[in-house]
Amino acid sequence: MNEKLRRKRLRLLVIKINKERKRQGLKIDVLCKDLIGAQKEFIKQLDTISFAATFYESIIGITDTGGLFYMTSRFIREKIPNANVVFILRQADSFELHLFESDQPITLNKQQLENCFTPEIVDNICKSNRICTLDDMFAMGLQGNLTVLNKIAAAAIPLGSFAATLGFILIYRSAQNKFADSELNNITAITQGISRAIQSCQIFSHANDLK
């Protein structure tokens, strides 16, 4: 075999090796990205678990809905800055509002978002059994001063599980600071526990009334 042919084969071999290295490099890059993504998701899940565990510790021993709503509202506002938190519970033909002012309430003049709700809209949100955005609420018939309402970001998070929806948690703040998915996921992680706590408080209250 002459020198020219050997060099040609050597070049082809080097080219082949370089291509294989690039393919392996791409596979490693993809694998690293997948691992980093999985790690980030795992950290988010741990954060949600920690959030829920800390919350449940904070409501141990509470036997009245007023205290429960106050503690829950306070806890949510600590995790979601500048948010207004409203608890809306279904009634037979109406609904109850439980509101605790935030440390830095949103300025909406005298027309707060919670004042725009009707029994029909509350019922529709509860029946949807999913997180509803402000656009979803408008589609369900929410009416109000659009100039004012367009300045806020809002979400209604159902309280309950499966077919039994007691109501929902309404959170809202300035539209310049929209809610992150992680913030809403953290609240969703504690809604079943809140629902059970509400029912327990109601049973406890009813038992005291019968004494």
Please state, in angstroms and rounded to a whole number, the distance separating the CA atoms of residues 34 and 138. 39
Q: Which pLDDT band, with edges at 50, 70 and 90, does 110 fall under?
A: very low
Of the CA atoms within 13 Å of residue 40, those in its CB half-sphere come to: 7
Contact 118, 145 (CB under 8 A): no
Q: b/e per residue, 45-84, with b = 16+ CB within 10 A?
A: eeebeebbeebeeebeebeebeebbebbbebbbeebeebb
Predicted pLDDT of residue 132: 92
Q: 153-178 pLDDT, tens per residue?
A: 899 999 975 566 889 999 988 888 88
pLDDT above 90 as % of the chain: 7
Q: What distance in Å separates the CA atoms of residue 73 and residue 102, rounded to the nearest whole number?
A: 8
Cβ(159)–Cβ(165) below 8 Å: yes
Average predicted confidence (pLDDT) for the chain: 80
pTM, two decimals, is: 0.74
